[in-house]
Amino acid sequence: MSPRTSSTSIRSLPGLVISSVFSLAYFISPAYILSATFWLVIQISCLLNDGGDMSQLSTSAVVYVAPLLISVVMPPRAMPWLGQYMKPMLDYFSYDEVLEMTNEELIQQANVEGKKFILAMQPHGIISFCSLCHWVNSPEELKGVRTAVASVLLKTPILKNVMGIYGLTPATSSNVRRVLQKGIGTKGSLVLYTGGIAEMFKSSYTEERLYLKNRKGFIKIALQLEGVDIIPVYLFGNTACLSVIRNSVLAGLSRRMQVAVTYYWGKWFLPIPRDEKLLFVRGKPLGLPYIPQPTSEDIVKWHGMYCDEVKRLFEENKERVPSYKHKKLFID
């Protein structure tokens, strides 16, 4: 593991600004989308009532609504080249890595041996700054590995374009299978957050809780597809960058809508991430067998082994992160 220096006075501000773009995008986008849509409807209604046409829309209305309209028609696009300009994030979060399976080994097995991997990550956090930092720090070959997300994110203006720079794909079972079966090389693997939105509401500065006990679908998919394995990844610090209102009603509503409906905060009680130390820990492949028709016992067995590996990664590495030394891990 090659340690990085703490945030310096010179680079901490750029790192804060870059990381805040993502948390502010999640926070501001819903209000902007609603207000821009409302303003556009009002403007058009007034013009129609006065017998005018669209060319008479006010300049302020056009300027305000333009980003929304552009985003609606512009699909999300992966931009791996942006990573080189986002490195101040690594210093802001004092980012570090522990890779039991190195980048070189992952690329070798994917490109030469034809292996496919589900990089199963936890905990989700409000925004996964730890995995964002890993993407920034990864070689170009691994920046092409797509992240499975809720389909609604891929349809939400502004957000889909901001987060889309990392390379997103729908987290539906059918699409996950398609990527794993048809993807070539590293693009045949994907990142999957096992806890999803439900785990987001378990984020806490004082304890670590994973929504994993009943999440077995990804195990079944990996067992059923030949050449597919699962690599557990633990994201230390992910739940400490931002705090969230933990409310069962909001959590249930968010799960149904597949988008977070809550308030979150970090520095200065604003949606700006705290400069917590982040540690990305990637384990080794589980060594899953190919079982076209796995039984419930098969799935439970390998899910248990996965959970054991997640616990091992947590216990063996939590001493490396000051805020985690006294934390306990709970799997709900």
pLDDT in tens, 83-116: 999 999 999 999 999 999 999 999 999 999 999 9
Residue 263: its pLDDT value, please? Answer: 74
Measure the CA–CA gap between 289 and 257, rounded to whole angstroms: 35
| Range in 134-138, 221-225, 239-243 the model is least confident about | 239-243
Check residue 153 and give its pLDDT: 87
Averaged pLDDT score across all residues of the chain: 88
SS3 of 229-270: the string is EEEEEEEECCCCCCEECCCHHHHHHHHHHCCCCCCEECHHHC
Would you say 128 and 235 are in contact if contact means Cβ atoms under 8 Å apart? Answer: yes
The Cα–Cα gap between 66 and 83 comes to: 27
120 forms beta bridges with 192, 232
Q: Are 129 and 238 in contact (CB under 8 A)?
A: yes
pLDDT the model gives residue 8: 47
Find out whether 193 and 314 touch, Cβ atoms under 8 Å.
no
**pLDDT band for position 45 (cuts 50, 70, 90):** confident
Backbone dihedral angles phi then psi of residue 271, each to the nearest 5 degrees: -75, 55
Q: Count of H helices and E strands in the chain? A: 11, 11
The Cα-based distances of 196 to 147, 223, 308 in angstroms read 12, 21, 19
* 250-271: pLDDT as tens digits: 555 555 655 665 678 899 999 9
pLDDT-wise least confident of 104-113, 131-140, 255-264, 295-304: 255-264
pLDDT at 195: 87
The predicted pLDDT at position 61 comes to: 74
In the prediction, which pLDDT does 51 show? 61
Task: Enter the pTM of the model.
Answer: 0.90
Q: Output the CA–CA distances (angstroms, integers) from residue 49 to 42, 45, 46, 205, 260, in the order listed.
A: 11, 6, 5, 54, 38
